Amino acid sequence: MQLSGVYVRDETNPKFVVCYIYEDDVGANFDFRALSADPWLKDDFVFFAVDNPSDLLKNPNGQLPAITGIFRQTETTPPGSAFYFNEQTEIDFLSTKLTLMSMVPGLREKYDRDIRERRYSQYEAT
Q: What is the pLDDT of residues 1-39, one digit of tens each?
A: 454 555 566 566 778 888 888 877 777 778 888 999 999
The string over 25-41, giving b where at least 16 C-beta atoms fall within 10 Å of a residue's C-beta and e elsewhere, is eeebbebbbebbebebb
Q: Is residue 126 in a domain?
A: no
Asked whether residue 86 carries a pLDDT value surpassing 70, the answer given is no
Cβ-contact 63, 89 below 8 angstroms: yes
For residue 22, give its domain range.
Answer: 2-121
Residues ≥6 apart with Cβ < 8 Å to 34: 93
The domain tally of the chain equals: 1
The pLDDT of residue 1 is 47
**pTM for the complete prediction?**
0.75
Considering only CA atoms, which of 39, 40, 46 is closest in space to residue 8?
Answer: 46
Q: Is residue 96 in a domain?
A: yes
The pLDDT of residue 98 is 92
Q: How confident is the model at residue 61 (pLDDT cuts 50, 70, 90)?
A: low
CATH code for position 57? 3.40.30
Rama region for 12: left / alpha / beta (φ>0; ψ in -120 to 50; rest) = alpha
